[in-house]
Structure 1
Amino acid sequence: MSQGWKWRLGLVSGVAFLGLIFLFPSMLPPGSVPPAFMPQARLSKGLDLQGGLHLELAVQTDKAVENSLSRLGEDVDKALKEERAKVRDVETTPKNVKVVVRGEESASTLRSILEEQFKNVTIENEYDDGDKRVFVLTFTKDWEEEIRQYAIDQGIETIRNRVDQFGVAEPVIVPRGNGEILIQLPGLGTLSADDVSTWFEKTMNDEGVAGSVEAAGTEVTVTFPDESSAETVVDEATRRFTGLVKEQQSLQEDGSMKVTFALATSKRAKALIGQTAQLEFRLVDDSVSVSDALANGPPRGSEILYGKKKIDRATGKEIGQPVPYVISKRVMLTGEVVTNALMSVDTNRAEYYVLMEFDSRGKNIFAELTADSVGKRLAIILDGVVQSAPVIREAIPGGRASISGTFTRNEARDLAIALRSGSLPAPVEVMHEIEVGATLGEDSVEAGRLSIIVGFIIVVIFMAFYYKLSGLIADMALLLNVVIVLGALAALGATLTLPGIAGIVLTVGMAVDANVLIFERVREELRLGRSPYSAIEAGYAKAFSTIMDANITTLIAAAVLYSLGTGPIRGFAVTLGIGILSSMFTAIVGTRGVFEYILSKPGVRRLSI
């Protein structure tokens, strides 16, 4: 009799063991770390299972093109003046840049400049207006498309940098085409200060660490006896809780360590993700009064911008009207030179502000700007709103500046994060948002777990009742199939979602399908008078082609779902595909190995099927 059962059972046992090894980290409690020699990847829960925030954003790529045209107008104007050309006007519109020069010599100079320095710019139109020559400039189609794509790519990178500040594990931030970005932040906004403070108290008590824990609103402050005792507990807390951000850590005079944590809420996340954070430093135009500018229009080269709306912190309502300013259109410095930004507090006035540090280039520009503009006002503008406009008293060579205003603690903190992670190249608009609460996520997990258990039990009972001992063998294969599927998903670092659970439930039903086909073939062979071993061989051989045809068509459907679907649909396709391959493996290789092993024993003359 063939000894093929040895390699078959050995192979199935090895694969099942690997499945358990990869699944082990996912079975550990949150915050626990598996041994170093074991895989570290975990099977994480998706947004619909643990709650969190789902956003669909549209990048306003037209604004990115408009901003690039604005910079083009400034650069062309500067280049013409360097060549001493007679420039009458440079006007930027959302679609093009109009350059007005006087004389053919200046027109020829402009053409040369465009040919040598601006190869991605084309002359859309050119005409005479009296003694002036008007050029209408636009970007080439290819370059405009590059600007739009850069706005999307850079937007994704900037948003990812901001989300990383919240400590969200495995966020989903992907493009969806047509300038849209899909963002899923599992676990965000599901954390409560009470849960965190309770955990700190219990952990510190269990480890014999003296200290105190205070929870207030969305902040938790923990005081440790020393720095060494704080390090371990803090690291474990940030690993354990999604959305728990270590905001500040300071050594006290008595040697104790005070650590302040902030809870990332969905509201804060949406505000931070959607904030363009385009920072500009521009001089205030004091050549005209604000009232004259409002009545007759601002001077050429200036515009009217407004200050931040004042909010009554007690009522949350606006107080008065925003203050208007006449601001020069020339941008002296931008947020590109900011290397670091930190929230700080003015203890004398009890106000929060953001302290910025510039790189070497920004430091030199800022020092030169302040030295040349003593006595003038410098407006600090964020997303088109004047945050402050202090008078420059003296040159500031230190490479630092601050943004002050009526900031709350969270506003100042989030502004610092936005400035550190960089500005968005174009504004974004929230097209669709879903906030899944922690309770709904837990209900989904429980419903998914119950559906798998009930489906598994029903299949096990049916197979054992209808196919007797052979049915129990199929049930064993079904259990191995679930272990292998979950182990494979864990090895891939997959995120388990409700559609993924649906795929597992479907796999539970499909896993016995192959065994049913085989068992019915074996029954037919036994009725024809074949021996048990011959019936097994014939049954598996004759059912093989049917099993392959059925599963290959399902695999093709799963491949189509994966290639055309997004997010949860892809998760369902991956789970279904892995489940099909696993069920074929356990049915064709595993159960046959068990039957051959049983029939290899002396005295076995019949099958319980």
Structure 2
Amino acid sequence: MKIFNYRLVIFILSIIFGIVFSIPSLLQTDTGKKISLGLDLQGGLHMLLGVNTHEAVTSKIKTVATSIKYFSDDEELLIDGLSIENDSVVFTVLDADEMPKMDEMLKQIKGLDISKEDLKYTLKLTAEDIAKTKDLSVAQAVETIRNRLDQFGLSEPTVVRQGQTDIVVELPGIKTQEDEKAARELISKPANLELMAVDEERADQVYTMTSSQAAAYGDVILEDTNNDKVKYLVKEIPILNGSQVVDAQVGFDQSNQPIINFTLNSTGARIFGEFTGKNVGKRLAVVLDGKVYSAPNIRERIGGGSGQISGGFTMIEAGNIAIALRSGALPATVTLLEKRSVGPSLGADSIQASMIALISGFSLVFIFMVIYYRRAGVIANIALITNVFIIIAVMAMFGATLTLPGMAGIVLTVGMAVDANVIITERIRELIREGSSIPKAIEDGYSNAMRAILDANITTLLVAVLLYAYGTGPIKGFAITISIGILASMLTAILGTHGIYEALMSRISRDKDSKKWFGVK
């Protein structure tokens, strides 16, 4: 009775899987999942960015002040001197009977350290909340930058956090200075939209007033985006900010100039409507990244939660600002710490050198295995080819990026896969020399070699896992390739070749020179 050869079935399925899913990557077809090439192989831009996390803390303090302003307006609480001093929100409640209501509202804002002196309140963020805000600002910056790059149309951008405050950005395919400049501007643009009330009472003093004098009235002095000689005196605490923006699209004004139309969420729309309704005849400054783009007069209550930004944009500028607004404002300023460009010709040279190394390594291993182990070497080579196909197929399925260290990992995997086959074949040869029959030598050879192969591969796999956990960029790519290669080599060497021997067992046994199958004289 013929026993079902499950090992051979699994091996054949592995071959089919490897070939089918690796073809799109090998032939670069238009359909199917493909491996994308890393920065070092196709060229592009590598940047190390630093996030000013203290700005995120300042921004949160400003948000607390805004919440207090609108709570007091909604509840008709009379407060005075609402301002920000040394990362603290300071204000005074004018009616002591209203303090319990204010205390109840402040309980709803988490992470505050509240101190009171008579009717005066001083609010600070707790040390725990400051640390949490700083950590969250970096995570938000990573997500915001990734969203912007996705909408910009770049293929396979890499945006990962590095350390406490740094972000690594890799943009494969950036080939021109213009593309590089556009990408850098999009990444670093804060896109911090604020709607701020113009201080009409002191507006005519803006050119004679200092910043410290303005701060005494709870104001700040901002410049016009098109003319830095034009200045505006606006209230420091904004009415609305970019967090309430849900959409931004490029449009055109009556003179056919590009503008940006933005839409607010329900909360923003309500606040915007209430403010414009109470301040008809006054000016509202539209501020983007600390520059006033326009300060129109409010003619009537504006409902619907929509507005526009005009500022003499080009179509490209308007499009990039709209992308940045849709993706959300950066929680803090992002600065460029390091930049490295890899030219496409250098990437092509790397691919060529890697392919030469891979083909040379394969060829030498193939020739050695056939000369030394004869037909057993041919079987090992079949497993070796399957191993590479499986690596490429798995990487393609998961959308992995192939880097130069990753290609080095494939070359190294070839050696490791051969090593497993050598251990098995050598053990079979020893048993044949000791007088074992071919079938028994094959079965015992696999059984005896199994432990050594598993020990070696599991140890290497653990190291690869650690490299992936604590490494960055190229190191992670190397670790992924090695991990897939180890699992594939165990599949092909332990199951695959064993299944082939089982299928050929009767033929090997009938062969008068069956020992020569394994290079034994």
* TM-score category of the 2 structures, normalised to the smaller one: 0.7 to 0.9
Q: 1:361/1:591 Cα in 2 relative to 1: closer, same or farther (>3 Å)?
A: closer
The whole-number CA distance in structure 1 between the counterparts of 2:324 and 2:467 is: 37
Query: In the TM superposition, what whole-angstrom CA distance separates every residue of 1:274-301 from its partner, at most 9, and x where no partner exists?
Result: 2111111223334332232249833612
**2:152 and 2:323 in contact (8 A); partners too:** no
| 1:565 positional shift | 2.1
Q: CA RMSD in A?
A: 3.4
Partner of 2:182: 268
Partner of 2:241: 334
| 1:460 positional shift | 0.9
Partner of 2:39: 47
Partner of 2:148: 162
Structure 1 gaps, min length 5: 34-39, 193-217, 219-264, 311-320
Partner of 1:303: 220
The whole-number CA distance in structure 2 between the counterparts of 1:306 and 1:45 is: 45
1:91 aligns with 2:83: yes
Q: 1:588/1:362 Cα in 2 relative to 1: closer, same or farther (>3 Å)?
A: closer
Letter aligned with residue 58 of structure 2: E
| 1:506 positional shift | 0.2
**1:51 and 1:186 in contact (8 A); partners too:** yes
**2:144 and 2:327 in contact (8 A); partners too:** yes
Q: 1:304/1:271 Cα in 2 relative to 1: closer, same or farther (>3 Å)?
A: same
| 1:424 positional shift | 2.2
1:61 aligns with 2:74: no
Query: In the TM superposition, what whole-angstrom CA distance separates every residue of 1:180-213 from its partner, at most 9, and x where no partner exists?
Result: 33333333x2389xxxxxxxxxxxxxxxxxxxxx
Query: In the TM superposition, what whole-angstrom CA distance separates every residue of 1:236-291 from its partner, at most 9, and x where no partner exists?
Result: xxxxxxxxxxxxxxxxxxxxxxxxxxxxx232122112211111122333433223
The whole-number CA distance in structure 2 between the counterparts of 1:389 and 1:425 is: 25
The whole-number CA distance in structure 1 between the counterparts of 2:511 and 2:211 is: 108
Q: 1:465/1:364 Cα in 2 relative to 1: closer, same or farther (>3 Å)?
A: same
Q: 1:75/1:484 Cα in 2 relative to 1: closer, same or farther (>3 Å)?
A: closer
**1:171 and 1:183 in contact (8 A); partners too:** yes
The whole-number CA distance in structure 1 between the counterparts of 2:245 and 2:501 is: 70
Partner of 1:213: none
Q: 1:167/1:87 Cα in 2 relative to 1: closer, same or farther (>3 Å)?
A: closer
Letter aligned with residue 182 of structure 1: V
| 1:457 positional shift | 0.6
Aligned to 1:607, which of 505, 515, 518?
515
Letter aligned with residue 367 of structure 2: I
* Percent of aligned positions that are identical: 41
1:121 aligns with 2:121: no
Partner of 1:221: none
Secondary structure of the 1:58 match is: strand
**1:345 and 1:351 in contact (8 A); partners too:** yes
Provide TM-score, normalisation by structure 2: 0.86
Higher helix share: 2
The whole-number CA distance in structure 2 between the counterparts of 1:406 and 1:512 is: 65
The whole-number CA distance in structure 1 between the counterparts of 2:89 and 2:212 is: 25
Partner of 1:262: none
Query: In the TM superposition, what whole-angstrom CA distance separates every residue of 1:450-476 from its partner, at most 9, and x where no partner exists?
Result: 221111011111222222332222222
Aligned to 2:125, which of 139, 152, 165?
139
The whole-number CA distance in structure 1 between the counterparts of 2:131 and 2:440 is: 68
Partner of 1:590: 496
The whole-number CA distance in structure 2 between the counterparts of 1:367 and 1:137 is: 28
1:183 aligns with 2:89: no
Partner of 2:159: 173
| 1:97 positional shift | 2.5
Letter aligned with residue 584 of structure 1: M
Letter aligned with residue 273 of structure 1: I
1:20 aligns with 2:5: no
The whole-number CA distance in structure 2 between the counterparts of 1:546 and 1:426 is: 53
| 1:75 positional shift | 3.6
Say which is worse superposed, 362-371 or 491-500, in terms of deviation. 362-371
The whole-number CA distance in structure 2 between the counterparts of 1:62 and 1:292 is: 31
Partner of 2:293: 387
Partner of 1:195: none
Query: Pairwise mapping of residues 349-498 of structure 1 onto structure 2 (< 5 A)?
Result: 351-359=257-265, 362=268, 365-366=271-272, 369-370=275-276, 372-392=278-298, 400-498=306-404
Partner of 1:323: 230
Q: 1:282/1:134 Cα in 2 relative to 1: closer, same or farther (>3 Å)?
A: closer
The whole-number CA distance in structure 2 between the counterparts of 1:476 and 1:531 is: 24
**1:5 and 1:596 in contact (8 A); partners too:** no
Q: 1:607/1:190 Cα in 2 relative to 1: closer, same or farther (>3 Å)?
A: farther
Q: 1:191/1:29 Cα in 2 relative to 1: closer, same or farther (>3 Å)?
A: farther
Provide TM-score, normalisation by structure 1: 0.74
Q: 1:347/1:434 Cα in 2 relative to 1: closer, same or farther (>3 Å)?
A: farther
Partner of 1:569: 475
Q: 1:280/1:296 Cα in 2 relative to 1: closer, same or farther (>3 Å)?
A: closer
Secondary structure of the 1:175 match is: strand
Q: 1:474/1:407 Cα in 2 relative to 1: closer, same or farther (>3 Å)?
A: same
Partner of 1:214: none
Query: Pairwise mapping of residues 507-522 of structure 1 onto structure 2 (< 5 A)?
Result: 507-522=413-428
Letter aligned with residue 24 of structure 1: I
**2:211 and 2:221 in contact (8 A); partners too:** no
Aligned residues: 512
Partner of 1:249: none
Secondary structure of the 1:449 match is: helix
Secondary structure of the 2:399 match is: coil
Q: 1:499/1:126 Cα in 2 relative to 1: closer, same or farther (>3 Å)?
A: same
| 1:330 positional shift | 4.2
Q: 1:342/1:442 Cα in 2 relative to 1: closer, same or farther (>3 Å)?
A: same
**1:511 and 1:583 in contact (8 A); partners too:** yes
Q: 1:83/1:559 Cα in 2 relative to 1: closer, same or farther (>3 Å)?
A: closer
